[in-house]
Structure 1
Amino acid sequence: MGSDTGREGDGSGIDQYWRRRAAALAGVVVVVGVLGWACSSGGAETERERPSAAPSQPAVPTAMPTVTVTATTKVTMTPKAVRRDGDACDPEDVVVTMAVSRDTYAAGDRPRFRVTAVNTGARTCRLDVGPGALDVRITSGPDRVWSSSACARGPASSVKELRRGVPYAATVSWDRRRSGEDCEGERASARPGTYVATLKPDGYKVPRQVFRLR
């Protein structure tokens, strides 16, 4: 008993105890370090062995773009013919009129009609003013009584030059007889009543004239 007390008294037992504790703690530290190294190495290999993600594919459009086709119509304008002095008159440039000399004619009086044509164009032009082109017609209802072209003496055509603003004027007289087919020989006289005179030129609209025969 005395000997045990002496060993503890010199401190050798206590030193051995702490040596054993230090050795055990060192072992634990070594084991923990080894486990940590193993885990970190395995994780690195796992990261290296893991296949990389496939490259991203371009997004597919949900709808194709709409293509609009616009049709273009080409219009070719035909230039108007240039007119020179002495060319035929353009109907758009000529104003044709007719006026009766009276509203009522007594027995034996011959009706007279004044026909005029005025060139409103910029240049001098030629116009046919003969009875074949400017035909004065007398009607009574549906009855065609007389025509200046049917009873004209001389050529039916007569071309005149019309200067700008200078009117051509002619007077047509009716002998109050029916024209028939050729105005030759005996012809019946028109009866008293209301008659209508019209001018029939090509390309012109001339107001009609109403008059009476007694």
Structure 2
Amino acid sequence: MSGVMHPVGPEPQETYWVRRAVVIGSALVLMIILLLVLFNLNGSQQPAPAAPPNPLPSLTPMTPSASPSSASPSPSGSASASASASGKATPSASASGKASSSASASASASGSPKAAGKASSSPSTKSTSTAVTQQTLTVCDPSDLDLSVDSPRTAGVSSSVGFKLSLTNTGSNTCVVTVNPNDFSLKLVSGSDRIWSTADCSTLVGQRLAQLTPKQSLNWTVEWNGKRSASGCKTRPGTPGAGYYWATASFTGVASDRARLILT
């Protein structure tokens, strides 16, 4: 015991104490390193917490606005979530990812999402086109229409005469005009004598539909057979003789200027 506390040897006493301190310090460092290694081994051998089971994706058909890639859940989302929690992807996350991939592949193979999207896109496009057409085809305002009638300068008694009619859009917008017997009439008079009128025979007018841009006109011709007219497309007795006759037209309250015709 005295040899431990009081070293004996040819070297100075301080040299022996330094040697003992180095040996004891080295032993303590080795013990500390050994304890740290054992602690780390025990900690790494503990099982990593199991990731919660990932449910299989639903195979409900997608809505038309969703694409197939966005409808089925991505397997990378669950795998990355498990990797961030434990430092690596767990077997359960990998299996769940494979199941999600196979379910997404089968949903794409069935073709039902594409069919649903295609079926709903056509009515939407068709309804939009109809709405645009209805907005474009606005009815012409009578105040934006100018009606004119033109006739030959002279014609023979009892001969047929063609009256040229023109309906012009004087407004600043494109519009639609419909000419039919209910809204249009052309008549021929001589003084106070009513000679002939399309109101007596609707087939003389027919029906016309035109879309008119600003300053554009709808032109057509109405034939007079040279006789007096009666209701029901009939004629009255008495042939109009030589003299001056005046033709006027009206459409939805818009009246034309008079056109002069001389029968010879």
TM-score computed with the length of structure 1 as normaliser: 0.53
Mapping for residues 107-118 of structure 1, pairs under 5 Å: 107-118=157-168
Correspondence list, 1:1-214, <5 A: 84-100=135-151, 102-153=152-203, 157-184=207-234, 188-214=238-264
On the 8 A contact 1:197/1:210 being kept in 2, the answer is yes
Query: Partner amino acid for 2:257?
Result: P
Following the alignment from structure 1 to structure 2, what is the Cα–Cα distance between the partners of residues 139 and 186? 14
Gapped regions of structure 1 (runs ≥ 5)? 1-82
Helix, strand or coil at the partner of 1:149: helix
Higher relative helix content: 2
Separation in 2 of the partners of 1:185 and 1:209? Answer: 23
Shift of the alpha carbon at 1:91? 1.7
1:96 and 1:175 map into 2 onto residues whose CA distance is 23
User: Using a 3 Å threshold, how does the CA distance of structure 1 residues 112 and 88 change in structure 2: closer, same or farther?
Assistant: same
Q: Is the 8 A contact 2:149 2:165 kept in 1?
A: yes
Give, as a single letter, the amino acid of the residue that structure 2 aligns with 1:207: D
CA shift for structure 1 position 108: 4.6
Preserved CA contact (<8 Å) 1:112 1:172: yes
Once the two structures are superposed, residues 110-137 of structure 1 have per-residue CA deviations (whole angstroms, 9 ceiling, x without a partner) of 2221111111333321212234322110
Calculate the TM-score normalised by the size of structure 2: 0.44
Distance 2:261 2:167 in 1: 22
8 A contact 1:116–1:168 mirrored in 2: yes
How far residue 154 of structure 1 moved from its aligned partner, in angstroms, is: 7.1
Mapped partners of 2:167, 2:245: distance in 1: 24
Whichever residue aligns with residue 150 of structure 2, its letter is A
Aligned residues: 131
Task: Give distance in 1, aligned partners of 2:161 and 2:204.
Answer: 21
Match of 1:4 in 2: none
Look up the SS of the partner of 1:165 in the other structure.
coil
Q: 1:154 to 1:98 in 2, by over 3 A?
A: closer
Residue 135 of structure 1: SS of its match in structure 2?
Answer: strand
Higher Cα radius of gyration = 1
Identity %: 26
Q: Which residue does 2:105 correspond to in 1? A: none
